[in-house]
């Protein structure tokens, strides 16, 4: 197989984004645009990837790590100039080079593979990835001769009124014969409206030298979307969400309203799971089979096993085991682990804690820095008081215990199995197995005392 190389153009600052974040690092469905690009490029099995960096070079390199080599474009002198910077890595090598922009996150690996194969099948020196645009404003136009052979690409600002009517547009993605590419780059000039080195001028240079130039038209215009401002960023997110949700539905997931459901790229969802409107599934989240995620829930970097119901709750960096249910209006903060068939009810917050199998924390309670065993009942308004002002401390509650309502447990405390804590108690000491702990003042009724209170008169 002919060697494949890839050059990712990621040097632009993206002034029109009006942002301190460099353009290619803006997220689309949870991943920076440039990460979407390198993921798709890697799926085409290139021998080498070179990313051209400039503005925000350190941040781009930090994002992509060792997945790419890097070349610095210190001055922004156009796309042709950007590709020139890859010469130290690729010049003189035999093979096919993909040139792709880091701000086109909707391109698919299937399209890129088809582009490679079409290029090689045609024996072309260059192949342009094109698309049909009903409104081509802002795109370079593909100009063909009288028999349909690609003649050249003309940029919007350089196009005549007649040329501007052409609806076949340049997506900014190309395949080149690698050796011919770097030879042609030496002949680029800046004789154009922008005063830049246009990569598109390579087409005319190759044509003038008698080389074969081809064009492969993608069926989906949306793949060509380049993100240059916040409007295009919002559209890229919408289109990517639509694509992601469509694939999940094909895999057996039910969406009540796909247009109002927000799922990051890379999230995994099992079959027969139902997702209601307003749900956000973010990061490295994995949802099992036969789950129900109700409206307005947000789950981030968490694992939800099979047969779980999450009712209008927030789950962050946590694990919910099979058969458990959470919510409504619960908050699982990082390092919460809810075991099989456990129940975490409304307005319960759990942080850095284990809620054991079959244990029930019904409502209005805080469980922080604690390990709860199996089949425990935690009453309403229980607080695990874990912080003394300087350090966090841990509480352990044994299996089959009962914690009454409005109990404060002042950590560190160990409550052994089969124990009972009376409602309203403040617990500061360990409780042995089978004991009942009562820590509250005895009730005293003072007859007629209310008559002495002015506002009671």
Question: Where are any strands of DSSP class E within 208-297?
Answer: 213-217, 254-255, 262-263, 268-269, 274-275, 280-282, 286-287, 292-293
- CATH code, domain with 389: 2.160.10.10
On whether 333 is known to bind a ligand per the annotation, the reply is: yes
pLDDT attached to residue 456 = 65
Tell me which residues of the chain have a pLDDT lower than 70: 1, 456-457
On whether 155 is known to bind a ligand per the annotation, the reply is: yes
Is residue 215 located within the same domain as residue 321? no
User: Which SS3 state, helix, strand or coil, does residue 102 take?
Assistant: coil
pLDDT in tens, 339-360: 999 999 999 999 999 999 999 9
On whether 341 is known to bind a ligand per the annotation, the reply is: no
pLDDT attached to residue 457 = 64
On whether 122 is known to bind a ligand per the annotation, the reply is: no
Tell me whether residue 303 is in a domain. Answer: no
Q: Are strands 354-355 and 314-316 parallel, antiparallel or unpaired?
A: unpaired
Half-sphere exposure (Cβ direction) of 141: Cα atoms closer than 13 Å: 19
Query: How many whole angstroms separate alpha carbon 88 and alpha carbon 67?
Result: 18
On whether 406 is known to bind a ligand per the annotation, the reply is: no
On whether 79 is known to bind a ligand per the annotation, the reply is: yes
Query: How many whole angstroms separate alpha carbon 239 and alpha carbon 152?
Result: 30
- CATH code, domain with 115: 3.90.550.10
Alpha carbon dihedral 244, 245, 251, 256, in 10-degree steps, equals 170
Question: Do residues 188 and 201 make contact, with C-beta atoms less than 8 angstroms apart?
Answer: yes
- Could you list the residue range(s) of the whole structural domain that residue 14 is in? 4-224
Is residue 95 located within the same domain as residue 218? yes
On whether 381 is known to bind a ligand per the annotation, the reply is: no
Query: Which of the residues are catalytic?
Result: 363
Question: Do residues 248 and 263 make contact, with C-beta atoms less than 8 angstroms apart?
Answer: yes
CA distances from 381 to 237, 317, 346, 378 (A): 41, 24, 11, 9
On whether 199 is known to bind a ligand per the annotation, the reply is: no
For the chain, what is the domain count?
2
pLDDT in tens, 209-247: 999 999 999 999 999 999 999 999 999 999 999 999 999
What is the reported pTM?
Answer: 0.91
In 228-253, which positions are buried (b, 16+ CB within 10 angstroms) versus exposed (e)? beeeebebbbebbbebbbeebeeeeb
Query: How many whole angstroms separate alpha carbon 120 and alpha carbon 265?
Result: 31
Tell me whether residue 22 is in a domain. Answer: yes
Tell me whether residue 38 is in a domain. Answer: yes
Query: How many whole angstroms separate alpha carbon 359 and alpha carbon 144?
Result: 71
On whether 101 is known to bind a ligand per the annotation, the reply is: yes
Is residue 327 located within the same domain as residue 442? yes
Is residue 324 located within the same domain as residue 219? no
Domain finish residue from 189, 224, 259: 224
On whether 424 is known to bind a ligand per the annotation, the reply is: no
Is residue 214 located within the same domain as residue 316? no
Is residue 215 located within the same domain as residue 78? yes
Question: Do residues 380 and 396 make contact, with C-beta atoms less than 8 angstroms apart?
Answer: no
Tell me whether residue 260 is in a domain. Answer: no
Domain finish residue from 224, 252, 280: 224
Domain finish residue from 176, 195, 224: 224
Is residue 214 located within the same domain as residue 330? no
Tell me whether residue 238 is in a domain. Answer: no
């Amino acid at each position: 197989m002919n060697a494949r190389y890839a050059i990712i153009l990621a040097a632009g600052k993206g002034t029109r984004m009006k942002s301190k974040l460099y353009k290619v690092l803006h997220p689309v469905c949870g991943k920076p645009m440039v990460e979407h690009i390198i993921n798709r490029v890697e799926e085409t099995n290139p021998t080498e990837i070179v990313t051209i960096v400039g503005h925000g070079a350190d941040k781009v390199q930090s994002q992509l790590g060792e997945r790419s080599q890097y070349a610095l474009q210190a001055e922004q002198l156009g796309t042709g100039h950007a590709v020139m910077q890859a010469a130290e890595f690729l010049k003189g090598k035999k093979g096919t080079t993909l040139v792709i922009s880091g701000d086109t996150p909707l391109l698919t690996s299937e399209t890129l593979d088809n582009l490679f194969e079409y290029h090689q099948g045609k024996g072309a020196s260059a192949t342009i990835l094109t698309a049909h645009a009903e409104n081509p404003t802002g795109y370079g136009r593909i100009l063909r001769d009288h028999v349909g052979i690609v003649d050249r690409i003309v940029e919007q600002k350089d196009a005549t009124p007649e040329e501007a009517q052409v609806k076949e547009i340049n997506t900014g993605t190309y395949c080149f014969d690698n050796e011919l590419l770097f030879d042609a780059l030496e002949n680029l000039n800046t004789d154009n409206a922008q005063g830049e080195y246009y990569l598109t001028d390579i087409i005319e240079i190759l044509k003038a030298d008698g080389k074969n130039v081809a064009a492969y038209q993608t069926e989906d215009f949306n793949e060509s979307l380049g993100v240059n401002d916040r409007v295009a960023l919002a559209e890229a997110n919408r289109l990517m969400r639509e694509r992601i949700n469509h694939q999940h539905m094909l895999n057996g997931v039910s969406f009540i309203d796909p247009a109002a459901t927000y799922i990051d790229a890379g999230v995994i969802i099992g079959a027969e799971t139902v997702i209601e409107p307003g749900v956000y599934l973010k990061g490295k989240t994995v949802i099992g089979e036969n789950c129900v995620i109700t409206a307005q829930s947000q789950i981030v970097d968490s694992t939800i096993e099979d047969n779980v119901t999450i009712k209008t709750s927030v789950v962050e960096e946590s694990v919910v085991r099979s058969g458990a249910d959470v919510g409504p209006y619960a908050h699982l903060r990082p390092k919460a682990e809810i075991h099989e068939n456990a129940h975490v009810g409304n307005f319960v917050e759990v942080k850095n804690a284990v809620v054991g199998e079959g244990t029930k924390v019904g409502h209005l309670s805080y469980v922080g820095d604690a390990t709860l065993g199996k089949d425990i009942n935690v009453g309403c308004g229980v607080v695990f008081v874990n912080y003394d002002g300087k350090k966090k401390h841990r509480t352990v509650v044994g299996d089959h215990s009962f914690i009454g309502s409005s109990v404060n447990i002042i950590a560190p405390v160990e409550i052994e199995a089969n124990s009972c804590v009376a409602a309203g108690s403040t617990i500061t000491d360990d409780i042995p197995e089978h004991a009942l702990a009562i820590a509250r003042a005895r009730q005293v009724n003072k007859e007629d005392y209310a008559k002495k209170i002015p506002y009671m008169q």
